[in-house]
Structure 1
Amino acid sequence: MPAPSILFVCLGNICRSPLAEGIYRHLTEAASEKPVIASAGIGGWHVGNPPDRRSIKVAAAKGIDLAHQRARQVRRDDFVDFDLVVAMDNSNLARLETMMPAEATARLHLFADLAFGTRQDVPDPYYGDLEDFEAVYSMLFSGCSAVVAKFE
């Protein structure tokens, strides 16, 4: 069974979801069938911008290049185009639930619930420092590893 297509979603698509996209892509590089992987934001404030420089820096230190990614906003079609739409926190999940059209085929998940079976939010590091981004990277790496293992 091929791995499901997955859209990672956070508030602005510059911190958490681009990290999750990059990590998941990195972890599935060796897969014979590459899953479709993307990220998006609930809001459109950063559309077209690269990820936050701190996300880029933390990922680059681990050999993951995020610099080519550009922020985009969640679209109605995402709920049909992807198998899984994965929210970084409960607030994002609640917004996605209100945005989800009747014809949606995607399954909505909270990241930590899908990865670890918990209702924990992935904290938004935007107003923090590099250590906060490193902590989020670690959480996302562990979680993405768990998700990849589920579909192997």
Structure 2
Amino acid sequence: MTGNIVNKDIKRILFVCMGNICRSPTAEAVFRHKAERNKLDLTIDSAGTIGSHAREKPDHRAQKIGIERGYDFEKIRARKVELEDFTEFDIILAMDEQNIKDLKKVAPVGYHDKIHLFLEFANNFQDTEVPDPYYGGARGFKYVLDLIEDASDGLIAQLKKAR
């Protein structure tokens, strides 16, 4: 984990993937659950770098795997990243390097330092990116959930330490 990414001032976290129907809504659901369980008062949201799934519920496969592990997707709907997100959120966590590139293309230059890979917080996996499970089977969605749970635990630990 690099430098001083996490500090006591982080109160608003945005998770980002491409379409906001698989990885980032899963991260939103998992992280919200873990933050509430750890009594962290945070605003948590997710968005996509493209808007083709706007207002759709998360992918049914992501929901099925997540619900089996106790996560709630009920109020999550896909949306595209908006310019205001760069000022509204304290940290923006992307699922892969392409998301980072796409975010930096639209982010005002002064906000690039808010954008990071989510798996920078993972402790038990060597992966640097959360792979897109959309075109794969159930095993891919389970693996994505494993990665997200691990990175969420790592981020929660750093937030608690910073406070």
Counterpart of 2:147, as a letter, is: M
- Within 5 A, what are the aligned runs for 1:1-152? 1=8, 3-102=10-109, 104=111, 107-116=114-123, 120-152=128-160
Counterpart of 1:138, as a letter, is: D
Aligned-partner SS, 1:9 = strand
Q: Structure 1 residues 8-17 or 111-120, which shifts more?
A: 111-120
Question: Any unmatched runs of 5+ in structure 1?
Answer: none
TM-score (norm 1): 0.92
Aligned residues: 152
Q: Per-residue deviation at 1:114?
A: 4.0
Equivalent residues of 1:22, 1:65 under 8 A apart: yes
Counterpart of 2:48, as a letter, is: G
Q: Per-residue deviation at 1:34?
A: 1.4
Q: Per-residue deviation at 1:5?
A: 1.2
Q: Per-residue deviation at 1:121?
A: 1.2
1:116-144: CA deviations, max 9, x gaps? 59671100000011111001000100011
Aligned-partner SS, 2:144 = helix
Q: Per-residue deviation at 1:31?
A: 4.1
Identity within the alignment, %:
38
Question: Any unmatched runs of 5+ in structure 2?
Answer: 1-7
